[in-house]
Amino acid sequence: MSVAVNDLSAARETLSRVFGFPAFRGVQETVVGRVLAGQSTLAVMPTGAGKSLTYQLPAVMLEGTCVVVSPLIALMHDQLRSATANGIRAATLTSADTDRGQTIERFRAGALDLLYIAPERASQPHFRELLESAPLALFAIDEAHCVSEWGHDFRPDYRLLRPLLDSFPSVPRLALTATADAHTRADILDQLGIPSDGLVIAGFDRPNIRYSITPRDNPLRQITRLIEGQPGPGIVYAPTRAGVEKLADQLGATGRTVLPYHAGLAPEVRAANQAAFVASEDMIMVATVAFGMGIDKPDVRFVAHAALPKSIESYYQETGRAGRDGDPAVAMMLWGAEDFARARARLGEMDETRLSGERARLDMLASLVETPRCRRAILLRHFGENPPETCGNCDNCLKPPAVTNVTELARKLLSAVYRTGQAFGFGHVEKVLKGASDERVMQRGHDQLSVFGIVDDEEANLLRPVSRALQARGALVQNEHGGLMLGGEARAILKGEAEVDLIVPKTTEKAPRRRRGG
C-alpha cells in the first residue's frame, strides 16, 4: 500500500473534497485509519455516528472496489443515492436491478468504488468467481450483528459470508453495527474472522435525549400530552399496523399533521408519507418499526413507543432517531404487562439456540422499565460502558420515584395464583385476594382458600402494578387464555430469596385535568 494512502492527511483531504465535511467525527478517524492500513475491524457505532463514511471514504481512496454487504435492498438504494450524489462510483447488484450486466462490467474493469450486495449472494458459486475476476479493496459488512444468533436480528445468510471472506485473505474486512452487547460483539468477531484487537467502539451516550418510561394507562392521553409539549416533528411507534392506523387517526385530534407508516401501505403511499415527514417541521409520523431505517432527519424532537420495543438494542436504535442535531429531544416509552406476556409467549415458540439469548434480552428490557434508578446508566452499561450512576436527564434522575418494598404482597399474589390452580386471569385472582363475594369465586370454592381475603384495601390498590412488575421479570406468565401461571422467578420470591420493589404509581398523573368554572 502506498504511503500517500496510509496518510491520514490524504484522508482528511478526501473527506473535505468528496464528502464536504471539515473533520472526522468520533471514532471515524480511527476506523478509517485502520482500514487504510489494511487492518480488519469491527466498528460499533451508534446510529447517526456516520458509519457509512468509514467504508465509503477508503473506497474512494483505495484502488479496487469496496464490496458492501447490506441486509436490505431499500437501505442499499438509500446508500447508493447518497454516494452517487457525492460523485462516488457506486452500484447495487440485487435481483431488483435491471442493469446487472453493466454493473458487472464496471466492477471487473475496476470502475466502481462501491458495490452493494445482499448476503444471500455470498453463497452463490458464480459470485465468488465474479469477485476473483475483479480488483477488490475492502469488504464492508453492514448491520454485522445479523451474523450472530445472540444479536437481535439474526440472518442465517450472514453465516455464509465467512468462507467467502476467507477465500480473499489479503482483502481487509470492516464489520459495522450500531447495536451489539459484549456477547454479540465477541460473536461477530468470531463469525467474521476479525481479530479481537480490531474492535473499535464509539461512545453510545446521547446526552440530549431525555428518556422517560411509564406504565401505559391511557396511551392516547399520555402521547397527546407529550405532543402538546413538543411542537417539533416526532415519531410514534406502535406495534401493529392496525395500532398504527388507529393511533394516527386519534392523534389527528391534536391538530397536528399526522401520517401513518407501515408495511401494509402501498409503496408509493409509504414513500410519500416518508418524504412529507422528512420535509416537515412539525409533523407526527405514527409508524411500525419498519419506519426509520436509513432516514436522515436531524431535527426529530421526540420518539414515543406506544408499547414495549423488541429489545434494548431496538429501543436504543429507535429512540436514537430523536435529536440527531444535538438539540434537546424526548424519548418516551409506554409499557404494559401484556407486552411482556406476549414477548414471553413468543419465547415458548423459539428453538433452543435462540432461547437463552432472547430470554436474557427480555430480562434486560424488564430491568430497564422497572428500575427506579437512572435509565441512561442501564442503557450505557448494556453497551459495555461505565457510566455515572445518575445522568440528570431521564425521568428517574429528574424526579426520583418513591420506591416501596412489596415482597410480601407479591408473595400473596403468587400464592393466590398457585392455589387457584394457575388458570385464572388477574381479575379473578384479585377478587379472591380481596375476599370479594363473587359468584364465580364461590362456585369454584375459592372462598375456602387460605388466600381468600388476605389483602386489605391499601394493598389492593397495588395489586395491578405488582402483577405488572412480576410479569415484567418473568415471575408471573400468562397462558394463551390470559390465565396467570408461576414463572421461573416466582420460586425465589416465594422462598424469600428475592425482593420485589415497586415504583409507587404516580396516581396524580392519571387524573384528567378539569376545566375550571365549567
Q: Closest Cα to residue 142, out of 57, 70, 56?
A: 70
- Identify whether the C-beta of residue 214 lies closer than 8 Å to the C-beta of residue 334: yes
Considering the complex, state which of residue 24 and residue 150 has its C-beta at the smaller distance from ligand ADP.
Answer: 24
Q: Bridge partners of 334? A: 214
Q: Which of residues 241-300 bind ligand ADP (CB under 6 A)?
A: 296
Q: Given the C-alpha cell 485502520, which residue does it identify?
A: 34
| Alpha carbons 371 and 400: distance in angstroms, whole number | 11
User: Residue 287 has what DSSP assignment?
Assistant: E
Q: Which of 50, 198, 232, 292 binds ligand ADP (CB under 6 A)?
A: 50
| Alpha carbons 352 and 234: distance in angstroms, whole number | 39
Is 48 one of the binding residues for ligand ADP (CB under 6 A)? yes
Partner from Zn ion, ligand ADP, none binding residue 391, C-beta < 5-8 Å depending on class: Zn ion
Q: Bridge partners of 93? A: 117
Is 374 one of the binding residues for Zn ion (CB under 5 A)? yes
Is 28 one of the binding residues for ligand ADP (CB under 6 A)? yes
Give the helix/strand (H/E) hosting 485: strand 484-486
Is 203 one of the binding residues for ligand ADP (CB under 6 A)? no
| Alpha carbons 495 and 491: distance in angstroms, whole number | 6
Q: Which of 331, 394, 463, 470 binds Zn ion (CB under 5 A)?
A: 394
Q: Which of 34, 51, 297, 434 binds ligand ADP (CB under 6 A)?
A: 51
Start-to-end CA span in the chain (Å): 79
Considering the complex, state which of residue 173 and residue 376 has its C-beta at the smaller distance from Zn ion.
Answer: 376
CB of 14 to ligand ADP, least distance (A): 12
Q: Closest Cα to residue 179, out of 156, 213, 211, 147?
A: 147
Partner from Zn ion, ligand ADP, none binding residue 376, C-beta < 5-8 Å depending on class: Zn ion
Partner from ligand ADP, Zn ion, none binding residue 394, C-beta < 5-8 Å depending on class: Zn ion
* Cell numbers placing 431: 377478587
x/- track of binding to ligand ADP for residues 435-454 (CB under 6 A) = --------------------
**Range in contact with ligand ADP (rule: CB under 6 A) among 44-52, 180-188, 337-345, 407-415:** 44-52
| Alpha carbons 228 and 241: distance in angstroms, whole number | 24
Considering the complex, state which of residue 329 and residue 413 has its C-beta at the smaller distance from ligand ADP.
Answer: 329
Q: Closest Cα to residue 295, out of 309, 276, 282, 311?
A: 276
Is 177 one of the binding residues for ligand ADP (CB under 6 A)? no
Is 380 one of the binding residues for Zn ion (CB under 5 A)? no
**Range in contact with ligand ADP (rule: CB under 6 A) among 41-49, 264-272, 359-367, 478-486:** 41-49
Q: Closest Cα to residue 223, out of 249, 200, 184, 242?
A: 249
Is 397 one of the binding residues for Zn ion (CB under 5 A)? yes
**Range in contact with ligand ADP (rule: CB under 6 A) among 19-27, 309-317, 430-438, 466-474:** 19-27
- 205: helix, coil or strand? coil
Contacts of 269 (CB under 8 A, 6+ apart): none
Is 71 one of the binding residues for ligand ADP (CB under 6 A)? no
**Range in contact with ligand ADP (rule: CB under 6 A) among 50-58, 153-161, 284-292, 347-355:** 50-58
* Cell numbers placing 443: 362456585
CB of 48 to ligand ADP, least distance (A): 5
Is 312 one of the binding residues for ligand ADP (CB under 6 A)? no
Q: Where does residue 333 rank: exposed (0-12), middle (13-18), buried (19+ CB within 10 A)?
A: buried
| Alpha carbons 430 and 464: distance in angstroms, whole number | 9
Question: Which residues are at the interface with ligand ADP (CB under 6 A)?
Answer: 21, 24-25, 28, 45, 47-53, 296
Question: Which residues are at the interface with Zn ion (CB under 5 A)?
Answer: 374, 376, 391, 394, 397
